Amino acid sequence: MLIQTCSIKSEMQDMLLVFFLGDSISVYGAVMNINRGNPFQKEVVLDSWPDFKAIITRRQKEAETDNLDHYTNAYAVFYKDVSAYRQLLEEHGVINWDQVFQIQGLQSELYDVSKAVADSKQVDVKLASFKAVCLSMVSTADTSSLMSSSPRLTYLSLADVDLLNQTWSRGGNEQCRRYIANLISCFPSVCVRDDKGNPVSWSMMDQFATMCHGYTMPEHRRKGYNRLVILTLVRKLQSRGFPCQGNIMDDNTTSINLAKSIHGDFLPCRFHRLILTPPAFSGQVHP
């Protein structure tokens, strides 16, 4: 196991971009955020360098953690050789198996290999799988017609945290509330507000540079707000050099059709998120 160095971080980002971006996009986004101030206190673990076969991004060992917070206790994975990934999983000290955590990536063997190692440790694994989409360049013209008829377009604030926690399908708990507050404080977001300043539609970026929690309040749907928010956030991320990526549930036809209408590129691979729970925390984990 090798822990990142400053030179490795920069070279790795370029290498992932040039050669592997589709399958490695979660790791790529995490490395970008590490290289830009590292607000989520991440680090990179590799099997070797420069001829690496597996990469895992993880929370730094010295960072404060909540053992129930799988939102923050998150690992992103990319491998060129699945056996090298398994060896990293099995190596002592790479993964903290004594807390609830998540693993995410876009490679087909990720679940089977992770579950095999988790089973050997009696750790429960729950899988969620989504369509993965990348969004193309967006011009000012794409959003100008929508801007003229919309309420105030701004960004999310910490005053909005409770609403976002209540409306997120993955939310409704204290760990998610704290995680959302950290995302709002650290990363770009876009929000449409009504005349009273209340959020009616929004989206933000997470620790892996993924667009997440796109939501419009039910009474404000079918007004084009979601499209405006997504296109504006894409422009904002592109202006800062981030890849514009997202994950969509298979039955979310509204988001799928929106992604197609703005020329989203659905990747041949799928996005996988695994929630791993050791026996000590069984029954205490939120989705």
Does residue 283 come out as left (phi exceeding 0), alpha (psi in the -120 to 50 range) or beta?
left
Is the pLDDT confidence value at 21 over 90? no
**Listed residue (31, 21, 26, 20) closest to 272, CA to CA:** 26
- What are 163-205's pLDDT values in tens digits? 999 999 999 999 999 999 999 999 999 999 999 999 999 999 9
Alpha-carbon distance 215 to 197, whole Å?
16
Q: Which CATH superfamily is domain 137-243 in?
A: Gcn5-related N-acetyltransferase (GNAT) (3.40.630.30)
Rg from Cα positions in the chain: 19
Q: Which residues, other chains included, contact 214 with Cβ-Cβ below 8 Å and sequence gap of 6+?
A: 202, 203, 226, 229, 230, 246, 255
| Mean predicted confidence (pLDDT) in 246-267 | 94
Average pLDDT over the chain, rounded to an integer: 91
Euclidean distance between the first and the last CA atom of the chain, given in angstroms as a whole number: 31
- What are 132-171's pLDDT values in tens digits? 999 977 655 455 555 555 578 999 999 999 999 999 999 9
Type of residue found at 156: L
pLDDT at 27: 93
Supply 254's token pair. 């509204």
Sequence ranges of the domains in the chain: 2-129+271-281, 137-243
pLDDT at 86: 98
- Whether the pTM exceeds 0.85: the reply is yes
In this chain, the answer to whether the domains covering 2-129+271-281 and 137-243 adopt an identical fold is yes
CATH class of 2-129+271-281: alpha beta
Supply 70's token pair. 């799988």
